[in-house]
Amino acid sequence: MPELPEVEIARRCLVRWFDGRSLVRAVGTPSRVFRGAERARFEALAGPLTSAERKGKYLMLGFGEQGLVMHLGMTGKLVKRPQGQAEPYSRARFELDSGEVVHFRDPRMFGHIEPAPTKTLPTLKAVAKLGRDPLVEGLDARALAELVGPSRQALKVALMDQERIAGLGNIHAAEALFRAGLHPARAPGSLSSAEWKRLAQGIRAALDFALVEQDSDEIRYVEEPGSDNPFLVYGRAGTPCRKCKTTVKSMTQGGRTTHYCPKCQPKGAKR
């Protein structure tokens, strides 16, 4: 599933692909990707890409006065292809004056595209309710403690609350907690100042790692068949921990599978 690093890589790709180019035609296939939105407004988009911003897992793209908000959902990705080449699961496409086509590919159609005036994109409900973006706005120990500390949810679940921290999902929350040596079931209120500092550092390290490791014109998500798993703990249940060789375990939290090392991430606070 695309999270903050994957969506940021998609944003950077769009900036490169549209550099010196112009959108000559936008085409949306009738699908639930445009649920609650006017597909005709999407197909009216044209011209150069004048802005490409990201907040959490949302992209905000401007083409002059009109633009769109895009969420990649669970399986969505942006790919560039030569004109005329078929692309399976393409739900929307951007045809460039270079003859190339950027497709929004989404097999499961949990992604979403909502056209709107460019100046209103940050105020759309889906974007406006998002919490702090660790990459765009920064996230130090103090801010992290203020945002997550009051939560009564388990630590990992609270980190995935998009209204607290925008962009962290199942993968990178687990990776950050592993790097910080914190058990995912800890109560946020039990963390010490030193632990909040380690967690803030762990979040940034996990994001920076993914931004470098996954940087590509065409990301292969770890869940896709044949993909390698570059992560330290995510998806590694039943295998030796890369730090201590203890068997990595998994459990269910908030309907998602959490991976952790019981030795590197003790449930009790370290004193």
Which residues are paired to 82 by β-bridges?
100
CA distance 185 to 101: 45
Catalytic residue among 2, 5, 115, 184: 2
Specify whether 57 is catalytic: yes
Alpha-helical (H) ranges within the chain are 4-18, 39-43, 125-128, 141-148, 155-159, 170-180, 193-213
Catalytic residue among 55, 57, 179, 186: 57
Residue type, 87: E
Least Cα distance to 105 among 129, 126, 79, 124 occurs for 79
Specify whether 3 is catalytic: yes
Catalytic residue among 21, 204, 256, 263: 256
DSSP E strands, 35-194: 51-55, 58-63, 66-71, 77-82, 90-96, 100-105, 112-117
Query: Structure tokens of 254?
Result: 């908030």
Which residues are paired to 23 by β-bridges?
47, 96
CA distance 76 to 70: 10
Specify whether 223 is catalytic: no
For tokens 């703990």, name the residue.
233
Just list the catalytic residues.
2-3, 57, 256
